[in-house]
Amino acid sequence: MKSFIAFIIKEYYHIIRDKRSLLILLGMPIVQIILFGYGITNEINDANIAILDNSKDNITKEISNKLLSTKYFKLKRYLDSEREIEKSFKSGEIKQVLVFEPHFAENLQKFGSASIHLITDGTDPNIGNTIMNYTNSIILNYQSEMNVNLAGIINVLPEVKMRYNPELKGVYLFVPGLITIILNLISAMMTSISIAREKEMGTMEVLLVSPMKPIFVIVAKLIPYSLISFSITIIILILGGTIFNVPITGSLGFLLLECILYLFLGLSMGILISTIAPTQQVAMFISMIGLMLPTILLSGFIIPIENMPYWLQILSNIIPAKWFIIIIKDIMLKGSGITFVWKETLIIVLMITFLLIVSAKKYKIRLQ
Amino acid sequence: MSNFIIQTNKLTKKFGKFVAANELTFEVKKGEIFGFLGANGAGKTTAIRMLCGLSKPSSGSATVAGFDIYTQTESIKKNIGYMSQKFSLYNDLTVLENLAFFGGIYGLSKNVVKEKSQELITKLQIEEHKDKLVESLPLGWKQKLAFLTSVIHNPKIIFLDEPTGGVDPITRRKFWDLIYEASENGITVFITTHYMDESEYCNRVSIMVDGEIVELDTPHNLKEKYDCNKMDDVFVKIARKSKRVE
């Protein structure tokens, strides 16, 4: 026990002496959450649009006003002719043009239909799509309101509600996603680098020759790093809750328990990496390329898994982050308990077991 | 207990078909300075690793400090010290923190560690540097410090694997003073080195070629046998027989 404590104190010195790494470790999540929360988002606010109103009647005015009264759109200018459309798009000042056909209100009354031409900038398909959907739904909404006023027509008015994230805020997805990625990366990378450092410096041999059991060497290393990873989780949760109002609908205790479990997964990955990597650089390289890229790309954090080609969907199953993202989103946003996420939890437990068994095998081979 | 602190009998280590150490049979007497010589790749490190319990022998037997290297590695580890060719203190810890750590993993109490540290710092005359990070010390000091750290728990045997690599002759000389002192205190010294002048300081030396011990005697006897003035020449004569090409 005495030796165990001496070891943890030593690790503590390593961590606080390396101020730069510590700053990166604690600062990275904060910067990322702010970047992701504010910057990278699918929401559209104040998208610039132009309107070419060839009719200039009451109804076209009403529709235009309705669009512009939302926070999503801002009128850049009214256009006077078709020719100006191309110019405005090219100059990059607008994302969408609404073209009302001539005699809009008249047509509507006479024939029961009139057309609006929506031209959207498709250079960024995601944004283009979103803008178009917003516009569409606002116009449809207007239309149904009109229908209510006209008696005698049967209306089916779908009332749409997005459950668990009514405003479709991107940050609701990013906070759980970030916790998933960062928790995994930091715990795996820190552990593997710190064990690899002992090997590189030759101190590992000294430790192995000492009466301290190898398993204690590893466990003593894991404790400080789990504490750091765990505090980072707390920081992200607090930031998410205070700045971006991401709720924790489910039980906080259960959420933290799952986080700890997932943290163990990262640590066991780190141990496995360190059994392969002879130097800190190799450990870093494996963690970054071998772990970070697949984790970010295949976990469903950025690219929805349903949109991937079939073989990538299969491959994504071996990415632990994929399962944890499901768990953490369910707990935070839907308020699920263990009865809903036991399958994913079990998968993570199995993964930890697998990683530890493989590491133990590798470790033994090294000792022979 | 016999007069021998290390006894090996046909100790062999194979990696696949490669025989790194072949039927090593030798004894190390209590309190002596035993030089374990051999060219690079002769199998010295393999042998040391087996004796320290870091690696399991393929066959043969051995006892270290009276304990069996197959079944009693834990007891062996408590009774040996080890310093390798790679520098083995923590650079980002201060002198005192390093001592506290190594004392700690050998289970020494706080008071003992304090006492020992003070003793050691006085001996090396580094009072004003005790709270400095080890990385800021000159290499010579580091190595002396590493040596004294490796005997902080008063081991019966200290294994030194090329401890003086990359150090200037004066520092090496001072390093050897420390080794003599440890030896006088009853610690058996098991040392590998590339510097043949150092092998002259040993009580007895063994010379390994291609995984086998081909000579084991006092430096004096070996020089007589091979009709040389210096151990350097003895070593060259013997090591030439090597078939292992690097």
pLDDT 10s digits, B51-108: 988 888 999 999 999 999 988 888 899 999 998 877 778 989 999 999 999 999 988 8
Instruction: Decide if A125 is inside a domain.
Output: yes
* Closest CA of chain B from A12, distance in Å: 10
Residues of B with CB under 8 A from a CB of A: 52-56, 74, 77-78, 80, 82-93, 97, 100-109, 133, 150, 159
Same domain, A325 and A183: yes
CA-to-CA separations, A111 to A105, A107, A114, B234, in angstroms, rounded: 10, 6, 8, 114
Examine the domain organization and report whether A176 and A277 are in the same domain.
yes
Nearest residue, CB atoms, A202 vs list B84, B102, B108:
B84
* Shared domain check, A51 and A34: no
Position A158 in a domain: no
Distance CA B94, CA A29 (A): 31
Interface test with A, best of B45, B83, B88 (most A CBs within 10 A): B88
Residue A154 · residue A235 · CB < 8 Å: no
A95 and A140, same domain (yes or no) = yes
| Helical packing angle, A252-276 and A214-243, nearest 10° | 130
List CB contacts (< 8 A) between B52 and chain A. Answer: 209
Residue A347 near residue A264, CB atoms below 8 Å: no
Identify whether residues A199 and A333 lie together within a single domain.
Answer: yes
Domain assignment present for residue A217? The answer is yes
Let me know whether A111 and A179 are in one domain: no
Last residue of a domain, one of A119, A149, A179: A149
Q: How far apart are CA A169 and CA A161, in angstroms?
A: 13
> Using the beta-carbon criterion (under 8 Å), do B92 and A205 form an inter-chain contact?
no
Give the integer Cα–Cα distance in Å for A106 and A62: 15
What is the residue range of A116's domain? 47-149
pLDDT at residue number A126: 75
Out of A6, A207, A211, name the one closest to residue B74 (CB): A211
Contact B133 A17 (CB under 8 A): yes
Average pLDDT of the residues of chain B: 88
Both tokens of residue A92? 């990059």
Using CB atoms, which residue from A7, A206, A212 is nearest to B88? A206
Within a domain: A162: no
Instruction: Evaluate whether residue A36 is within a structural domain.
Output: yes
* A175 domain residue, yes or no: yes
pLDDT of A350: 95
- Six-digit token pair at B232? 């350097």
**CB distance B97–A6 less than 8 Å?**
no
Please tell me whether residues A30 and A52 are part of one structural domain.
no
Q: Which residues of chain A have pLDDT under 50?
A: 152, 155, 368
Residue of chain A whose Cα is closest to the Cα of B56: A368
d(CA A324, CA B230): 69
Please tell me the total number of residues recorded for chain A in this structure: 368
Which residues 190-209 of A are in CB contact (within 8 Å) with B? 201-203, 205-209
Q: In Å, how far is A358's CA from the nearest CA of chain B? A: 20
Best probe of the A interface among B67, B105, B142, by most A CBs < 10 A, is B105
Amino acid letter at B187? Answer: I
Beta strand B59-64 pairing with B4-15: antiparallel
Q: What is the CATH number of the domain that holds A87?
A: 3.40.1710.10
Nearest-by-Cβ selection for A210 from B85, B90, B106? B106
The distance in angstroms from the start CA to the end CA of chain A is 27
Q: Please report the number of interchain residue pairs, chain A to chain B, with beta-carbon separation below 8 angstroms.
A: 84
- Determine phi and psi for B169, rounding to 5 degrees: -55, -35
Residue A160 lies in a domain: no
**Assembly ipTM:** 0.84
The residue out of A149, A181, A197 marking a domain boundary is: A149
Q: How far is the C-alpha of B226 from the C-alpha of B222, rounded, in Å?
A: 6
CA distance A363 to chain B (A): 12
CB atoms within 10 A of CB A113: 7
Q: Indicate the DSSP class of residue A184.
A: H
Q: Do B103 and A6 touch (CB under 8 A)?
A: yes
How far is residue A127's CA from residue A132's CA, in Å, rounded to a whole number?
9
Please answer yes or no on whether A211 and B107 come within 8 Å at the CB atom: yes
Residues A194 and A319 in one domain: yes
- For residue A346, give the nearest of A335, A356, A334, A354 by alpha carbon: A354
Query: How many Å lie between the alpha carbon of A184 and the closest alpha carbon of chain B?
Result: 26
Q: Answer with the one of A149, A180, A197 that is the final residue of a domain.
A: A149
The alpha helices in chain A, defined as continuous H runs, are 2-17, 19-34, 58-69, 83-91, 104-111, 125-149, 171-201, 203-209, 214-243, 252-276, 280-285, 293-298, 310-316, 320-329, 338-367
Residues A57 and A29 in one domain: no
Residues B61 and B178: their CA atoms lie apart, in Å, by 32
User: Which chain B positions have a beta carbon within 8 Å of A17's beta carbon?
Assistant: 92-93, 133
Domain contains A138: yes
Q: How confident is the model at residue B246 (pLDDT cuts 50, 70, 90)?
A: very low
Let me know whether A254 and A294 are in one domain. Answer: yes
Q: Do B104 and A209 touch (CB under 8 A)?
A: no
Chain B residue with minimal CA distance to A203? B88
Question: Torsion-angle region of residue B162: left (phi > 0), alpha (psi -120 to 50) or beta?
Answer: left
- Provide the domain count of chain A: 2
Question: Residue B83: its chain A contacts at CB < 8 A?
Answer: 206
* Predicted confidence (pLDDT) at residue B157 exceeds the cutoff of 90: yes
Q: Are residues A213 and A141 in the same domain?
A: no
Mean pLDDT over B189-211 rounds to: 89
Q: How far apart are CA A332 and CA B5, in angstroms?
A: 64
pLDDT at B179: 92
For A13, name the nearest residue in chain B, comparing CA atoms only.
B93
Query: Does the beta carbon of A22 lie under 8 angstroms from any beta carbon of chain B?
Result: no
Query: Are the CB atoms for A196 and A274 separated by under 8 Å?
Result: yes
Q: Domains of chain B (ranges plus CATH)?
A: 4-239 (3.40.50.300)
pLDDT of residue A44: 72
* Whether A3 and B107 lie within 8 Å, measured CB to CB: yes
pLDDT at residue A334, rounded to an integer: 85
Instruction: Answer whether residue B155 shows pLDDT above 80.
Output: yes
Range A233-242, long-range pairs (CB < 8 A, 24+ positions)? A233/A179, A233/A182, A233/A183, A233/A259, A233/A263, A235/A26, A235/A29, A235/A30, A236/A29, A236/A33, A236/A175, A236/A178, A236/A179, A236/A182, A237/A175, A237/A179, A239/A30, A239/A33, A239/A34, A240/A33, A240/A37, A240/A171, A240/A175
The Cα B142–Cα B137 span in angstroms is 6
Find chain A residues with C-beta within 8 A of B100's C-beta.
Answer: 6, 9
Are A133 and A191 within one domain?
Answer: no
